[in-house]
Every structure is written in structure tokens, then in C-alpha cells.
Structure 1
Amino acid sequence: MNNYTNNNTGRRYIAHVSIFGTTQIHLRNPYIIAWWSAAFPGFGHLLLSKYLRGFVLFIWEVVINLNSNLNVAMIHSFQGDIATAVEVLNTRWLLIYIPVYIFAIWDSYRTTIDLNKIYLLAERENHIFNSFSMGAMEINYLDKRNPLMSIMWSLFMPGLGQLYIHRIVVAFFIIIWAVVFFYYSHLLESISLLFLGEIHKATDVLDSEWLLFFPSLYGFATYDAYINTVENNKLAEKEQKNFLEKTYQNPDFYIAKKKKVKK
């Protein structure tokens, strides 16, 4: 058996490399994760690689938001028309929105704290994990990527940054929803009219209810791609360091720590 593959004998692992992507746990700020859940339910869980929970909360947010007219109410409130904002809200859907929204924030915060504890234990165990995966449809391997490239591709199109670092599941999910948002918001149509100098038509054709989903989507796609590129680079360095130590370093080698001399 290859001594440098995940043989499922460890109690905890800090990472797993599969054809669908590299999943790892590392220290995170629970307040930042909770903030992303507040910005858009599901994003906090996707940052934690809790994909199924994140997908459910994301789709729930879109469905409830559209049916409760929440984005429409936000637009009126931004314009200072509070009375209209309250009037357009559909309370039958809004009352469903509130408890799940709070749960998404709380659960992502709680999960982050738990995963931070698990990471410290897994880091201490330092068990071997796989670094290469090959299947009939894909190949994935640990290597170092440029975080700035992740940002650039994410700004061109949400999801491309995730494809660059091989986060296949999240990439497909973000790209599909980006296409949906582009289609129903008429954003690309508006940009085309803007280039033609048709400013009024470009404004009129926009569907602001769908357009309000974009800031959160673009922000998350960029942040997620950047953070995971940085952490994947750290993971690749750690895996290479462990391999070299176990393969080439003399077992009797150690670095003596100097004692501090009190003056």
C-alpha cells in the first residue's frame, strides 16, 4: 500500500483531494463566516465546504426573497420611500424568511467554532492525506496557484475563480445561478444598450429585483476563490514538507532549541 495516500486509518484529516475538488479545514474567523451568512444565507456554509446545507439555504433565499418581494422593498427603502417598502412586502412569505435567516447565521457561526477545534486536533495528529486523485472524468492534485488570478477570473464571471482552483461543485453551482441572474435581470442587455448610447433604455430594461442578487454573488465568488487559493497553497506546502521529512530526513535529526539566557 502507498504510505502517502489516505487509508482511512486516522481519526481526523485536515484535507481530502478528490476529482471534484480539494476539501480542507483550517482556522477561520467565525464572525466573518456569520457575516457572509447574513449577506446571503448559504454563503457561510459554502465557505466551510458544507455544500448540501449551503445549496439548500441559497435556493431557499432566492425563492423566499422573490415571493416576499424583499428586494423590491429594499429598493424602495434605499429611495427613502419606507411606506411603499412596507406595503409591497408579502408577510405570508416574510415570516418564513426570518427564522431560517437567523438559523443560517447561527449555524454557520457554531460550525466554524467546531471546525476550528477539529482542525487543531487534526493538525496535532498530522495524519497522511491523499494529494492526487484521478478518475474517468477529471484529475485533481495539490499544487500552488496565483491568488490574484483567482480574483481576476471571478470578476470576469462568478465561478471561474473556483474552476481555476478546481472547486468543481461550487463553481458549477455559482455559474448556473450567475446565468440565471444575468438572464432575469437583463443586465447584459442593459450593458449592450449602454454601449450604443441608449442610456434611458438601458435603465428601463433592467429588472432591479434580480439585479440586487449580483453584489452578494460577485463578492462571495471573489472572496471564496481568493481565500481557498491561499489556503490550498499553504496545504500544498505542508504536504510537500511532510513528504520530504518522512522520506529523506534522518529520524535522528533534530534542531536543538537554545535556552534564553537571563541577563
Structure 2
Amino acid sequence: MWDIRMNNYDNNNTARRYVGYVSQLGTTQLHLRNPIIIAWWSIAYPGFGHLLLSKYLRGMALFIWEMVINLNAHLNEAIIYTFIGDFEQAKAVLDTRWLMLYLPTYFFATWDSYRTAVDMNKITLLAQREKHRFNSFVLGAFEINYLDKRNPITALLWSFIMPGLGQLYIHRIVLAGFILIWMVVITYYSHFVEGLNYIFMGEIQKATEVFNKEWLLFLPSIYGFSMYDAYVNTVENNKLYIREQRYYLQETYQHPSFRVRKE
């Protein structure tokens, strides 16, 4: 028979583990992840791996740390010189005092995101096995949030238009706000919009001159992460919606004596 604990609709720690939690600020859930993919995103930009795991405080701290240390060490500038084969200039612009602070935390971010993904996969399997009911609707003074099915491609496209909008579409308010704020900062200091206008007018040389390449190099990472995060979490939220519906229908309508026949 269905466990009586399934009657608990609020995630108030009366059950041991839940697979999902719906709040005014977003939907948080446990689902299986590839630890290598999580670690790869931490390599691409420290903090991204933790943000994918919904470890927001740790992920945001590592993101800001990367921004501060990278700019002071002139790491992006050195990478640009490396791309054009000017290795001597790349070595000249690097500030080793800041660079030595960069490496330990960079390796920690990669290792910790991988380790956390492995641990959370174990917890996910246990939570799915325990099958405790979780809340699917919240109505508050500031927001309404609920589980429903949404289009992953739509989330991806909104993130392509502007990183953070895909997260807003699937109600990841905290992460959406964080990404949007940093997109404004990066876009402003990189002169991205100004350079893009010159490109549209066919003035490639002016665009090259106006771009701040050190800041511009942050954009591919944040664009790629935002699109990936929006798509994956839309898919997983849809699965969570189906899971919650199945739990409800089994508890409400399925006869207690019903058993699936094994062939």
C-alpha cells in the first residue's frame, strides 16, 4: 500500500528526503546528473557547476571570485594573446601575485562540484525510492509558483536572446536575477552592444577597436551556461510535474489492492 507519509504535502522535514520543493523563488529538485558535465562547467567558469546543482550561495561566491581574480590577474587578456600566438606578451601581462590565488580555488571548484554531483546522485536515488509527496503549488505575497509543463526549446531561445530570461521563464528567480545583473555589468564594460552596432553597419575595424576584449571573453561562458541550464531544468521540471501527477493519481484513485503483474 501507498505509504501514509505520502499525505504530507509540505516539505517541512517530516520526511527524510524529498525529490522536489516549490517555493516563491523557484522550483528546486533532485535529479540525476553527470558529474563529468558538472565538473566541465566548473572548468569553463568556476561556480557554474555549483549553480547547476542549485548550490546558489557557493556558486555565486565562486562566480564573483573568478571575476575579481581573473580581471586583476589579467588572465583573459593573456588568453587573447595566446589565441593570436603572442606568447611573450601573454606572459608579460599576467600578474603572478593574483594568478597564484586563482589556481587553488579553481581546482577546488572543479573537484567540489564533481564530488557534490556524485553525492547528490546517491541522495536522488534514495529520495526517488522513498517516494514522499512534495508540494507542487505555492501562493504568496510576492509570487505564485507551481509545477507545470513548459517547452525546453522556448527556454533555450529566451536564454539565447538574453541570458537569464530562460531562467525567468521556468521560475528560477534567484539565478535569473543573478545572471541578468552580471549580464548588464559585462555588456557595459565589454562595450558589446556598441561593437555589435558597428558590426551590423559593416564597420568591423571600429567594432574591433571598441570592444573591451578582456570583458568580452566572459560572454561565451555565461551565454552557454544560461542556455544549457534553462534547457536542462525545463526538461527536469517537466519530469517532476509528471512524477507529482503520478503520485497524486496513485494515492487518490488507484485501488489499494492494485498490483502490477510481473511477466
In 2: Cα distance, 1:189 partner to 1:169 partner: 29
CA contact (8 A) 2:50 2:58 kept: yes
Farther off after superposition, 186-195 or 168-177: 186-195
Provide structure 2 residue ranges, at least 5 long, that are not aligned to the other structure. Answer: 1-6
| TM-score where L is the length of structure 1 | 0.96
- Give unmatched runs, 5+ long, in structure 1: 259-263
Query: Match for residue 4 of structure 2?
Result: none
Q: CA–CA distance in 2 between the matches of 1:186 and 1:33?
A: 30
Kept in 2, the 8 Å contact 1:5–1:131? The answer is no
Matched, 1:203 2:208: yes
Name the structure 2 match of 1:163.
168
State the partner residue of 2:101.
Answer: 96
Residue 38 in structure 1 maps to residue 43 in structure 2: yes
2:174 partner letter:
V
Residue 127 (structure 2) aligns with: 122
Taking the aligned partners of 2:22 and 2:145, their CA distance within structure 1 comes to: 7
Distance (Å, rounded) in 1 between the aligned partners of 2:202 and 2:116 = 49
- Tell me how far 1:87 sits from its aligned partner: 1.0
User: Does 1:15 pair with 2:16?
Assistant: no
Runs of 4+ in 1 over 6 A off after TM superposition: none
Tell me how far 1:197 sits from its aligned partner. Answer: 3.4
Matching residue of 1:175: 180
Determine the structure 2 residue equivalent to 1:236: 241
Cα displacement (A) at 1:198? 2.8
Is residue 2:254 matched to residue 1:249?
A: yes
**Aligned match for 2:87, one of 69, 73, 82:** 82
Checking the alignment, whether the CA contact within 8 Å between 1:155 and 1:218 is kept in structure 2 is yes
Is contact 1:14–1:119 with CA below 8 Å preserved after alignment? yes
1: distance between equivalents of 2:227 and 2:47? Answer: 16
1: distance between equivalents of 2:239 and 2:108? 32
Structure 1 residue 55: Cα displacement: 0.3
SS of aligned partner of 2:11: coil
* Per-residue deviation, 1:3: 4.3
What amino acid is the match of 1:70?
L
Alignment-mate amino acid for residue 202 of structure 2: G
Q: How many Å separate the matches in 1 of 2:41 and 2:202? A: 37
Q: Are the counterparts in 2 of residues 133 and 140 from structure 1 also a CA contact under 8 Å? A: yes
The two structures, once aligned, show a CA RMSD in angstroms of 1.0
Matches within 5 A, 1:107-146: 107-146=112-151
Whole-angstrom CA distance in 2 between matches of 1:148 and 1:89 = 40
CA distance in 1, matches of 2:128, 2:203: 58
C-alpha offsets along residues 68-127 of structure 1, whole Å, 9 cap, x if unaligned? Answer: 000000000001111110111000000000000000000000000000001111111111
Matched, 1:56 2:61: yes
Shifted more, 128-137 versus 62-71: the winner is 128-137
State, as a whole percentage, how many aligned pairs show the same letter: 66
Report which stretch shifted further, 188-197 or 91-100.
Answer: 188-197
Q: Distance in 1 between matches of 2:122 and 2:90?
A: 43
Structure 1 residue 192 displacement after superposition: 1.5
Contact 2:8 2:134 in 1 (8 A): no
Give the partner amino acid of 2:211: L
Structure 2 distance, partners of 1:194, 1:84, is: 27
Out of 151, 154, 157, which is 2:156 matched to? 151
Q: Which residue of 2 is the match for residue 261 of structure 1?
A: none
Structure-2 separation of matches of 1:96 and 1:6: 40
Q: In the alignment, which residue of structure 1 is the partner of 2:3?
A: none
